[in-house]
């Protein structure tokens, strides 16, 4: 392996120190701790783990965490009424709803239902619109984490060839806007790129590679350009082991920087969620 490991934990430690200071300022202005309501719908062991890590992180940062676990059968109108009650609850500064949702609930409608001022994930159309215009109020947590990892390499993204693989609404699409804002020449590959067998062709020129698909070893190590920065967002369980979307060993021989899975993007996303809680609380002070 010649690549340097781009680890999320040390960056998360630094970010949490910054958040702690902001929490203390916001707490004195609000006369209460900033508070997040996390909504879990249905039982899902992976979601349980994610909520546990959110609750732990919130407690470390002196942020109040309300965990609401609802039945997977909750009708959409009842869920939206519950979200309304949180929107109107002055104790609650930010809302997070765990995805994926049961099939009978429309995630786009749900994102619209969360107050844009309490939107911990930055997925309300008003917040995405602000991101589009380069005036982000709140940035979706995973793309924000990816940008922090890229920043930690010290490499200026201006004019760099960046390729994102995966065009999801929560990762690939908002990330493309953040990279464009840094003047990276940004290409987004998706399922149709893969179907035409063109992903490797795009990666030939990629100085920055971000993969967020959720398919183990989708990206072959030999496709990575010498000296590239590789951020592997994917999380896949293979033989009881967590792996990313990139063939790590081979890619690490060619890349200059590469994120481990686990230990890359993951440790940062919860910290970014907490940063968004504090920013939402500040918005409500205005
Ligand atoms: P998602 O909503 O399922 O999106 C996956 C995207 O990949 C979709 O846009 C899909 O396109 C595209 N895709 C499917 N097959 C492809 C192919 N062969 N080539 C290129 N693109 C392809 O998933 P997500 O929420 O973005 O998450 C992606 C992965 O990142 C998952 O493994 C997830 O667990 C992980 N993740 C990790 C973190 C973290 O904190 N570490 C945070 C978020 C997500 P279509 O929709 O058109 O099929």
- Report the alpha-carbon distance of residue 175 to residue 257 in Å, rounded: 19
Rounded Cα gap, residues 167 and 177, in angstroms? 12
pLDDT per position as a tens digit, 221-244: 999 999 999 999 999 999 999 999
Residue 249 in any domain: the answer is yes
Does residue 84 share a domain with residue 192? no
Residue 176 shares a structural domain with residue 110: no
Q: Which atom of ligand 1 is nearest to the CA of 236?
A: 32
Residue with tokens 């493309």: 176
145 and 262 together in one domain: yes
Choice from 139, 164, 168 to test ligand 1 binding pocket (greatest atom count within 8 A of CB):
168
Is residue 91 located within the same domain as residue 188?
A: no
Please report the pLDDT score of residue 101 as a whole number: 96
Q: What is the mean pLDDT of residues 136-157?
A: 97
CATH number, domain containing residue 62: 3.40.50.10860
What separation in Å is there between the alpha carbon of 233 and the centre of ligand 1? Answer: 8
Q: Which of 209, 213, 231 gets mutated to test ligand 1 (max ligand atoms within 8 A of its CB)?
A: 213
Q: Do 255 and 146 fall into the same domain?
A: yes
Domain shared by 148 and 255, yes or no: yes
Kindly state whether residue 128 falls inside one of the protein's structural domains.
no
Distance 48 CA to ligand 1 centre (A): 20
Give the end of a domain, one of 64, 82, 117.
117
124: in domain: no
Q: 106 and 167, same structural domain?
A: no
pTM over 0.75? The answer is yes
Please check whether residues 98 and 170 belong to one and the same domain.
no
Q: Write out pLDDT tens, residues 176-218.
A: 999 999 999 999 999 999 999 999 999 999 999 999 999 999 9
What percent of the chain is predicted at pLDDT more than 90?
A: 97
Structure confidence at residue 201 (pLDDT):
98
Report CA(175)–ligand 1 centroid distance (Å). 13
- Residue 212 CA, ligand 1 centroid: distance in Å: 5
- Give, using CA atoms, the residue closest to atom 39 of ligand 1: 266
Full residue range of the structural domain in which residue 61 is found: 30-117
**Residue of the CA atom closest to atom 35 of ligand 1:** 234
Token reading at 165: 């693989």
Q: For 61-81, how does the pLDDT look when each residue is reduced to its tens digit (9 = 90+)?
A: 999 999 999 999 999 999 999
Residue 92 Cα to ligand 1 midpoint, Å, equals 30
Pocket (CB within 6 angstroms of ligand 1): 142, 165-168, 170-172, 189-191, 194, 212-214, 218, 233-235, 265-266, 269
Nearest CA owner, ligand 1 atom 40: 266
Task: Give the CATH number for residue 198.
Answer: 3.40.50.720
Q: What is the pLDDT of residue 286?
A: 78
Residue-level pLDDT at 284? 87
User: Which pLDDT does position 109 carry in this prediction?
Assistant: 97
Tell me, yes or no, whether 194 and 250 share the same domain: yes
Whether 20 is covered by a domain: the verdict is: no
Q: How far is the CA of 131 from the centre of ligand 1 (A)?
A: 20
Domain match, 151 and 219 both: yes
pLDDT confidence tier of residue 285, bands split at 50, 70 and 90: confident
In this structure, the answer to whether residues 111 and 168 fall within a common structural domain is: no
The per-residue pLDDT for 20 is 97
Indicate the top mutation candidate among 212, 243, 245, 267 to test ligand 1's pocket, ranked by most ligand atoms within 8 A of CB.
Answer: 212
Specify whether 165 is located in the same domain as 246: yes
Quote the tokens at residue 188.
Answer: 């987004």
CB within 8 Å of 229: residues ≥ 6 apart = 6, 150, 153, 155, 207, 208, 209, 255, 256, 257, 258
pLDDT tens per residue across span 24-63: 999 999 999 999 999 999 998 889 999 999 999 999 999 9
Q: How many domains does the chain have?
A: 2
Determine the pLDDT at residue 77: 98
Instruction: Decide if 13 is inside a domain.
Output: no
Q: What is the predicted pLDDT for the residue at 108?
A: 95
- Assess whether pLDDT exceeds 80 at residue 1: no
Ligand 1 mean position, distance from CA 173 (Å): 11
**How many angstroms does the Cα of residue 226 sit away from the middle of ligand 1?**
25
In sequence order, what E strands does 71-151 have? Answer: 94-97
pLDDT over 80 at 260, yes or no: yes
Query: Does residue 21 fall inside a structural domain?
Result: no
Q: Report yes or no on 11 lying in a domain.
A: no
**For residues 145-159, average pLDDT:** 98
Predicted pLDDT at 131: 97
pLDDT of residue 241: 94
Query: Do the domain assignments include residue 214?
Result: yes
Contact 159, 185 (CB under 8 A): yes
CA-based nearest residue to 276, from 126, 122, 142, 116:
122
* The domain boundary residue, chosen from 82, 117, 152: 117
């Amino acid at each position: 392996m010649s690549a340097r490991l781009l680890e999320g934990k040390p960056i998360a430690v630094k970010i949490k120190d910054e958040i702690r200071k902001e929490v203390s300022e916001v707490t004195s202005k609000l006369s209460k701790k900033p508070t997040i309501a996390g909504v879990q719908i249905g039982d899902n062991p992976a979601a349980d783990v994610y909520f546990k890590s959110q609750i732990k992180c919130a407690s470390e940062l002196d942020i109040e965490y309300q965990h609401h676990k609802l039945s997977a059968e909750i009708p959409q109108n009842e869920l939206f009424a519950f979200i309304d009650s949180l929107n109107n609850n002055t104790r609650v500064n930010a809302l997070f709803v765990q995805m994926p949702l049961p099939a009978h609930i429309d995630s786009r409608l749900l994102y619209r239902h969360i107050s844009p001022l309490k939107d911990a994930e930055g997925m309300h159309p008003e917040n995405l619109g602000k991101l589009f215009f380069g005036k982000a109020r709140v940035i979706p947590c995973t793309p924000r984490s990816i940008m922090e990892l890229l920043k930690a390499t010290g490499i200026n993204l201006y004019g760099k060839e960046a390729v994102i693989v995966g065009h999801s609404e929560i990762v690939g699409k908002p990330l493309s806007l953040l990279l464009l804002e840094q003047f990276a020449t940004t290409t987004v590959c998706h399922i149709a790129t893969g179907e035409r067998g063109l992903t490797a062709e795009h990666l030939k020129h990629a100085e920055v590679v971000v993969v967020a698909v959720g398919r183990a070893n989708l990206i072959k190590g030999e496709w990575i350009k010498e000296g590239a920065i590789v951020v592997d967002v994917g999380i896949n369980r293979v033989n009881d082991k967590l792996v990313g979307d990139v063939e790590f060993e081979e890619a690490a021989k060619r890349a200059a920087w590469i994120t481990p899975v686990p230990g890359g993007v993951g440790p940062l996303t919860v910290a970014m969620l907490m940063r968004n809680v504090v920013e939402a609380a500040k918005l409500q002070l205005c």
